[in-house]
C-alpha cells in the first residue's frame, strides 16, 4: 500500500471517527490545562528558565522554546553550546503535551522523557544530568522547593524532568479565533478564513492535521506523494525503529499558533506559511494550490493562534560558593 493510499485511508478514518463522536469537525477546541500541583508547575517554570542547567550557564529550555515567540526560536535549526548548529528545527513547546510522543522522530515517549535530552546533549545544553543535579542540590532555595513538591531534600534528574514536564503541560493556548468559531461564534472568522478551512478539509490537509492540536497525533512520511528535496540528514522514525520503511517519517507538527512558529518543517526550510502550504500541497497531496487558494489556507492557519501562556518571569535563586560554576568557553 502506498503512502498516498495510507493517507486516503487515514482521511476516511478521521472522518468516520469524527462522525462517531457526534462532532461535525475534525478539529476540536483546545481546553485550558488543569493544574494538579501549582507548586510543581512553579518549580518547573524556574527550571525551564534556568540556564544553569546548561554547561555554559547561557542556554535554558526557554532559549530554543522561547515563550515570547510561540515556544520556538524562530530559527531554521537551533543554536547550541559553543554556537553549535543543530540538525533540526526546534518544535514548539506549546500544546506539546498533546503530541503522541516528543521530538520530530518521537524518540521520547512524553514530555518528562524529552526534558532530559537537551540538558545532556553535547550539541545543545552540553551539561550532564549529574552536574545539573549538583547545581540545583547546592542551592538551598531550590532544595526547599523540591522538598515542598516531592517531599524529599534529594534532587535527582527524575524530579527535575517531572517538574519541567508539569510546567510544560500548562502551556496550552485556548481561545483562538478558530476555537471560538468551532464553539459556535460564526462571526469569529472572515469569509476568506472559512473558505480556507473548507479548502484545508477538502484538499486532505486534515487527514494528518486534526484533533485539538491540529496535528501531533501521527507519524507521516515527508514526501508522501512526491519526494521532498532537502539538505537535511534527518531520517525521522528510521533512527528510532531501525526500519527502512520508517525513513523520513516524522511526527506531524501541530498547526496551533503556526503564525508564530516559523520557519516550518523539520529542516526549517519553509520560511513562510505560503511556502509551507505550497510544499505540503505538492509533496503530500500532489496538488498545486492557486495563489488565491494558498492565501485562503494561510488566512485560516492564522486563526489558530491562541491565547499565549501568561505568567510572571520567574526569579531564580542565586548560586552560592558551593555551586559548580558554568563553563561557557570550555569545549
Residues that bind a second copy (CB under 8 A): 49-52, 56-58, 63, 66-70, 73-76, 79, 82-83, 85, 259-260, 262, 271-272, 274, 308, 310-316, 318-321, 325-326, 328-329
For the bound state, the minimum distance from the C-beta of residue 8 to a second copy, rounded and expressed in Å, comes to 32
* Ranges assigned E (strand) in 26-125: 79-80, 84-85
Q: How far, in Å, CA of 58 to CA of 79, rounded? A: 11
Task: Check if the beta carbon of residue 254 is closer than 8 Å to that of residue 213.
Answer: yes
Containing 267, the helix (H) or strand (E) segment is: none
Residue 156 CB, nearest approach to a second copy (Å): 23
The conformational region for residue 264 under phi > 0 = left, psi -120 to 50 = alpha, else beta, is beta
Cα–Cα distances in angstroms (integers) from residue 207 to residues 11, 152, 154, in the given order: 4, 46, 47
Task: Select 70 or 215, whichever has its Cβ closest to a second copy.
Answer: 70
Nearer to a second copy among residue 82 and residue 218 (C-beta): 82
Q: How far is the CB of 250 from a second copy (least distance, A)?
A: 22
Specify the 3-state DSSP secondary structure of 61.
helix
From the CB of residue 295, how many other CB atoms can be counted at a distance below 10 Å? Answer: 17
Length of the chain: 331
Which SS3 state, helix, strand or coil, does residue 270 take?
strand
Q: Which of 42, 124, 193, 278 is catalytic?
A: 124
Cis omega before residue 263 (within 30°)? Answer: yes
Q: Is the Cβ of residue 81 or residue 251 nearer to a second copy in the bound state? A: 81
CB of residue 239 vs a second copy: minimum separation in angstroms? Answer: 23
**Least spacing, CB of residue 13 vs a second copy, in Å:** 34
> Would you say 143 or 316 has its CB closer to a second copy?
316
Task: Examine the residue annotation and report whether 293 is marked as an active-site residue of this protein.
Answer: no
Nearer to a second copy, 2 or 320 (CB): 320
| Distance from C-alpha of 15 to C-alpha of 24, rounded to nearest angstrom | 9
Catalytic residue ranges: 124
Amino acid at each position: 500500500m502506498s503512502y498516498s493510499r495510507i493517507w486516503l485511508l487515514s482521511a476516511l478514518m478521521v472522518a468516520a471517527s469524527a462522525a462517531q463522536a457526534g462532532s461535525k469537525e475534525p478539529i476540536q477546541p483546545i481546553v485550558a490545562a488543569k493544574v494538579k500541583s501549582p507548586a510543581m508547575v512553579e518549580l518547573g517554570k524556574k527550571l525551564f528558565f534556568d540556564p544553569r542547567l546548561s554547561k555554559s550557564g547561557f542556554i535554558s529550555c526557554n532559549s530554543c522554546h522561547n515563550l515570547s515567540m510561540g515556544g520556538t526560536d524562530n530559527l531554521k535549526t537551533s543554536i547550541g553550546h559553543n554556537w553549535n548548529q543543530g540538525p533540526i528545527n526546534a518544535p514548539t513547546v506549546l500544546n506539546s503535551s498533546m503530541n503522541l510522543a516528543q521530538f520530530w522522530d518521537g524518540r521520547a515517549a512524553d514530555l518528562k522523557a524529552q526534558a532530559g535530552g537537551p540538558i545532556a546533549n553535547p550539541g545543545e545544553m552540553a551539561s550532564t544530568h549529574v552536574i545539573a543535579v549538583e547545581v540545583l542540590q547546592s542551592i538551598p532555595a531550590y532544595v526547599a522547593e523540591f522538598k515542598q513538591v516531592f517531599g524529599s531534600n534529594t534532587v535527582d534528574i527524575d524530579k527535575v524532568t517531572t517538574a519541567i514536564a508539569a510546567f510544560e503541560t500548562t502551556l496550552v493556548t485556548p481561545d483562538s479565533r478558530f476555537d471560538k468559531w468551532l464553539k459556535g461564534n460564526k462571526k469569529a472568522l472572515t469569509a476568506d478564513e472559512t473558505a480556507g478551512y473548507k479548502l484545508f478539509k477538502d484538499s486532505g490537509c486534515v487527514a494528518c492535521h486534526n484533533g485539538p492540536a491540529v496535528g501531533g497525533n501521527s507519524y507521516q512520511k515527508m514526501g508522501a506523494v512526491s519526494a521532498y528535496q532537502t539538505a537535511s540528514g534527518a531520517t525521522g522514525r528510521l533512527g528510532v525503529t531501525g526500519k527502512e520503511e520508517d525513513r523520513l517519517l516524522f511526527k506531524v507538527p501541530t498547526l496551533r499558533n503556526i503564525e508564530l512558529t516559523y520557519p516550518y518543517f523539520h529542516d526549517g526550510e519553509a520560511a513562510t506559511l505560503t511556502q509551507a502550504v505550497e510544499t505540503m500541497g505538492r509533496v503530500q497531496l500532489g496538488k498545486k494550490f492557486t495563489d488565491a487558494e494558498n492565501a485562503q489556507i494561510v488566512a485560516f492557519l492564522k486563526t489558530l493562534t491562541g491565547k499565549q501562556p501568561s505568567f510572571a518571569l520567574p526569579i531564580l535563586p542565586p548560586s552560592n560558593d558551593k555551586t559548580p560554576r558554568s563553563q561557557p568557553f570550555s569545549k
